[in-house]
Amino acid sequence: MATLKIYDFTEPELKYFREQCNFTPAELEYFNLRARYKSNIEISFAMNISTSQVSLLAGKVKSKIKRVQNYCNFNENI
């Protein structure tokens, strides 16, 4: 399975995830920064948080994206 890379999504896909994933403000900020090709270190500086906290945000964001993707795939099969 390919690694999830937020910056690889198209703008319509990014918009869809922003609307459907129920991101917290911090998760949304992380999502938007990753969509602009920012590294976790750059995000750490931009958000004034540790790289460990960035890693936690990354996991939460990716989990929400995968759940939304799985939900969409499930509904297509009904």
- pTM attached to this predicted model: 0.87
What is the pLDDT, as a whole number, of residue 4? Answer: 75
What is the pLDDT, as a whole number, of residue 71? Answer: 85
pLDDT tens readout for residues 21-58: 999 999 999 999 999 999 999 999 999 999 999 999 99
Contact 28, 57 (CB under 8 A): no
Q: Which fold has domain 10-17+24-76?
A: Arc Repressor Mutant, subunit A (1.10.10)
Where does the pLDDT of residue 74 fall: very low under 50, low under 70, confident under 90, or very high at 90 and above? Answer: low
What is the pLDDT, as a whole number, of residue 1? Answer: 44
Q: What is the DSSP letter of 3?
A: P
What is the pLDDT, as a whole number, of residue 78? Answer: 46
10 Å Cβ neighbour count for 74?
A: 9
